[in-house]
Amino acid sequence: MLSPELGHYALALACILAAAQGILPLIGAQRRDRRVMMLAPGLAVGQLLALLASFLCLVNAAVTDDFSVQNIAANSAVSKPLLYKITGVWGNHEGSILLWALILGICGAAVAAFGRNLPSALRARVIAVLGAVAAGFELFCLTTSDPFARVWPAPMDGQGMNPLLQDPGLAFHPPILYTGYVGFAVPFAFAIAALMEGRVDAAWGRWVRPWAVAAWCFLTCGIALGSWWSYYVLGWGGYWFWDPVENASLIPWLTGTALIHSAIVVEKRESLKIWTVLLAIATFSFSLSGTFLVRSGILNSVHAFANDPARGIFILGLLAVVIGGSLALFAYRAPTLTAGGLFAPVSREGALVLNNILLCSLCAVVVTGTMYPPFMSLLFDRTISVGKPFFDATTIPLAIPLFIFMGFGPMLPWKRAQLWPVLQRLWIAALLAGVAFAVFTFGMSGIPPILCSALAVWVICSSVLDIADRVRLFRMPLSGSLQRARMLPRSIFGTAIAHAGVGITILGLAAMSQAQHKIVEVPVGTTEHLAGYDWTLTDVKQEPGPNYTALVATLEVRHNGKIVTIMHPSKRSFNSQNQTTTEVSIHTNLLADLYGVLGDKHGTDAAPTYVLRLHYNPLAPWMWLGALIMAIGGALSLSDRRMRVGAPRRAKSSSDTVTTA
């Protein structure tokens, strides 16, 4: 029986197993006792199984409407559709912490499963670090946010889920985002293990990178999904607000992006080792502090911890142990790491260093902007606001050089390079970017969007040119080029595709600054004109839903008299919570979104009028499409045989003579 008590018990078991996983393999690695080290994979799998059992118990309680479980009673209801009963499990604080722990457990088990080729001491240490972190979170879950707490007497029905959460985009956003956050625990664990061993080498770089890339892909998708969700749910086309909660996901993304680039240098040239280790620690530290500080009430005043300060203190203690401990280890051990290969400033390494500096500067700006108001308030008792205008003014100037260097960085040779030959190879991209700039100057308003769009063209074109150059397209028979393309490592394609994805996202963002909208109050039968389209409100009627009733409008959109689409924006009134939500209707042809929203009903019942919001959002889908393409590029790199997880084997002799000084 999957009872809540069983779930609670399984969670406690997982916590004990995780603690064992965090301690025993470390002792084994220290004493070079193979038998103790070999406990690590078993413990990791055991912990995962216990967590799975615990999670299934919570899902079971949600599906069977067990309202004696407080968490279910507060967040679910009988009338809720089955899909949302399941996804609602992680739609609240307690459940989402459990999901966090579960994903961390999956990561540990994945290292156990895919890391067979790792030196046994390194693998034991990596799994141990993951276990120790997991133990902390499971303890947090058990002591301060128990998802299985019972209520008595059990209510007849739950309080229902927030209707906004009844949305497929949001249902799958948290697991993907969390996988991104938690996935960076693996590079973190590798960094800690490397510091313990006092050894970072090319093989280490090659082992870390796939995990970092995988986590980065998930984080990219997670952020994009969240942004997309707010775009179609909020009802006015907003997609990014520079809100602390969003910044909390952007910050690890920026350092994670820096990490997947600097790890290349470690792998290829054994350089930037200390820096890469620091980035791995920083990325996971930001993931952790981001997700948890937003729940502490410091950054976001949602009622999270106001009623339970114990949570905030526990979290801070946990962060102090994890982040403080790892940075202390870094301070102690990093100076002993040996420096690696030399390179000239103008080289692939040099370009990657510049990429890291710019990405980390961006990160510093976002961190400062996010943390400044609470610190101002704490230190000087002054309240200030830092919002979109600040971030726009400070991040765009840093992003522009990043985009410029993105174009030719991948074409520079390692060690020592010359700029001029590379620029010569990119003259077509430069020309196209110049033409784009001229064209956009006429079509768009505002200098930053024009400049960014032109640079996006530059990034996309140079990515294409990079591949074309490598396969010697048009400079040899096509069959020869195809042959070369087949021989080209997939990670080269991965890089080009991911970079092109960035370009596509930038184009989308820049074009969105040119969006048009109109708000009108009209009776049925009126036609409005916006962005060359004729929007006619032909009908509004009442329709029942599973646990709501909806007011549905019919909006016919014509272009030059020809019908383009019929949209049905609606307003839903939920029975159980006395709330309304707005269901936006979006028609896209991938070049622009037509976005219609039904607002309030005014006027008399005999002659009602309706508020309509009409938006024309050029290239809006590109913002998320670009993110998807980035993630596809990352996944393609992952499929490169050279990057396969655990594929490279460090020389056997070296793994056994690892110093543990």
Contacts (CB under 8 A) with other proteins, residues 355-414: 356-358, 360-361, 364-365, 368-369, 371-378, 380, 382-390, 393-395, 397-398
Question: Considering only residues 500-539, where is the footprint of other proteins by CB under 8 A?
Answer: 519-521
Q: Which of 2, 6, 243, 539 binds other proteins (CB under 8 A)?
A: 243
Asked if 453 contacts 618 with a C-beta cutoff of 8 angstroms, the reply is no
Task: Please state, in angstroms and rounded to a whole number, the distance separating the CA atoms of residues 165 and 100.
Answer: 19
Minimum CB separation from other proteins for residue 434, in Å? 26
Type of residue numbered 126: V
Return all residues near 555 (Cβ < 8 A) that are at least 6 apart: 535, 536, 537, 538, 566, 567, 568, 569, 585, 596, 612
Task: Examine residue 448 and tell whether it contacts other proteins (CB under 8 A).
Answer: no
**340 vs 407, which CB is nearer to other proteins?**
340
Task: Please state, in angstroms and rounded to a whole number, the distance separating the CA atoms of residues 362 and 106.
Answer: 31
Stretch that binds other proteins, among 41-49, 146-154, 334-342, 426-434 (CB under 8 A): 334-342
Question: Considering only residues 64-83, where is the footprint of other proteins by CB under 8 A?
Answer: 75
Write a three-state SS string for 374-428. Answer: HHHHHHHCCCCCCCHHHHHHHHHHHHHHHHHHHHHHHHCCCCCCCHHHHHHHCHH
Task: Examine residue 340 and tell whether it contacts other proteins (CB under 8 A).
Answer: yes
Task: Examine residue 168 and tell whether it contacts other proteins (CB under 8 A).
Answer: no
Stretch that binds other proteins, among 159-167, 417-425, 553-561, 623-631 (CB under 8 A): 159-167
Q: Which two tokens stand for residue 244?
A: 């602390």
- Angle at alpha carbon of residue 577, lines to 572 and 578, rounded to 5°: 60
Question: Considering only residues 5-34, where is the footprint of other proteins by CB under 8 A?
Answer: none
Stretch that binds other proteins, among 14-22, 49-57, 202-210, 543-551 (CB under 8 A): 202-210
Q: Which of 54, 166, 220, 230 binds other proteins (CB under 8 A)?
A: 230
Q: Which of 36, 38, 56, 319 binds other proteins (CB under 8 A)?
A: 319
Minimum CB separation from other proteins for residue 201, in Å? 9
**417 vs 460, which CB is nearer to other proteins?**
417
**301 vs 479, which CB is nearer to other proteins?**
301
Minimum CB separation from other proteins for residue 377, in Å? 6
Separation of CA 65 from chain center? 32
Minimum CB separation from other proteins for residue 60, in Å? 20
Q: Which of 1, 35, 303, 661 binds other proteins (CB under 8 A)?
A: 303
Please count the other Cβ atoms lying within 10 Å of the Cβ belonging to residue 23.
Answer: 15
Task: Please state, in angstroms and rounded to a whole number, the distance separating the CA atoms of residues 313 and 131.
Answer: 22
Stretch that binds other proteins, among 122-130, 186-194, 337-345, 430-438 (CB under 8 A): 337-345
Type of residue numbered 456: A
412-435 as b/e, with b when 16 or more CB fall inside 10 Å?
A: bebbebeeeebeebbeebbebbee
Task: Examine residue 652 and tell whether it contacts other proteins (CB under 8 A).
Answer: yes
**383 vs 604, which CB is nearer to other proteins?**
383
Write a three-state SS string for 36-78. Answer: HHCHHHHHHHHHHHHHHHHHHHHHHHHHCCCCCEHHHHHHCCC
**33 vs 167, which CB is nearer to other proteins?**
167
Task: Please state, in angstroms and rounded to a whole number, the distance separating the CA atoms of residues 28 and 280.
Answer: 24
Task: Examine residue 453 and tell whether it contacts other proteins (CB under 8 A).
Answer: no
Type of residue numbered 592: A
- Kindly report whether the peptide bond that precedes residue 168 is cis, defined as omega within 30 degrees of 0: no
Secondary structure of residue 128 in the 3-state scheme: helix
Task: Please state, in angstroms and rounded to a whole number, the distance separating the CA atoms of residues 638 and 640.
Answer: 5
Q: Which of 85, 348, 613, 615 binds other proteins (CB under 8 A)?
A: 613
Q: Which of 479, 604, 653, 659 binds other proteins (CB under 8 A)?
A: 653
Question: Considering only residues 619-648, where is the footprint of other proteins by CB under 8 A?
Answer: 642, 648
Asked if 615 contacts 621 with a C-beta cutoff of 8 angstroms, the reply is no
**20 vs 348, which CB is nearer to other proteins?**
348
Task: Examine residue 235 and tell whether it contacts other proteins (CB under 8 A).
Answer: yes
Please tell me the total number of residues recorded for the chain in this structure. 661
Q: Which of 323, 498, 550, 555 binds other proteins (CB under 8 A)?
A: 323
Task: Examine residue 617 and tell whether it contacts other proteins (CB under 8 A).
Answer: no
Minimum CB separation from other proteins for residue 306, in Å? 8
Among 602, 595, 615, 614, CA closest to 524: 602
Asked if 597 contacts 569 with a C-beta cutoff of 8 angstroms, the reply is yes
Stretch that binds other proteins, among 11-19, 20-28, 53-61, 335-343 (CB under 8 A): 335-343
Return all residues near 55 (Cβ < 8 A) that are at least 6 apart: 7, 89, 98, 99, 102
**1 vs 379, which CB is nearer to other proteins?**
379
Minimum CB separation from other proteins for residue 635, in Å? 20
- Helix (H) or strand (E) holding 565, with range, is strand 562-567
Q: Which of 62, 186, 193, 248 binds other proteins (CB under 8 A)?
A: 248
Separation of CA 73 from chain center? 30
Type of residue numbered 492: I
Q: Which of 92, 144, 262, 453 binds other proteins (CB under 8 A)?
A: 92
Task: Examine residue 249 and tell whether it contacts other proteins (CB under 8 A).
Answer: yes
Task: Please state, in angstroms and rounded to a whole number, the distance separating the CA atoms of residues 613 and 619.
Answer: 19
Stretch that binds other proteins, among 35-43, 170-178, 558-566, 587-595 (CB under 8 A): 170-178
Task: Examine residue 659 and tell whether it contacts other proteins (CB under 8 A).
Answer: no
Minimum CB separation from other proteins for residue 481, in Å? 19
Asked if 245 contacts 299 with a C-beta cutoff of 8 angstroms, the reply is yes
Q: Which two tokens stand for residue 3?
A: 């009872």
Q: Which of 5, 543, 600, 656 binds other proteins (CB under 8 A)?
A: 600
**33 vs 640, which CB is nearer to other proteins?**
640
Q: Name the burial class of residue 385, with classes exposed (0-12), middle (13-18) and buried (19+) by CB atoms within 10 angstroms of its CB.
A: exposed
Site for other proteins (CB under 8 A): how many residues? Answer: 129
Stretch that binds other proteins, among 4-12, 132-140, 425-433, 595-603 (CB under 8 A): 595-603
Question: Considering only residues 281-300, where is the footprint of other proteins by CB under 8 A?
Answer: 281-282, 285, 291, 293-300
Return all residues near 629 (Cβ < 8 A) that are at least 6 apart: 497, 498, 500, 501, 504
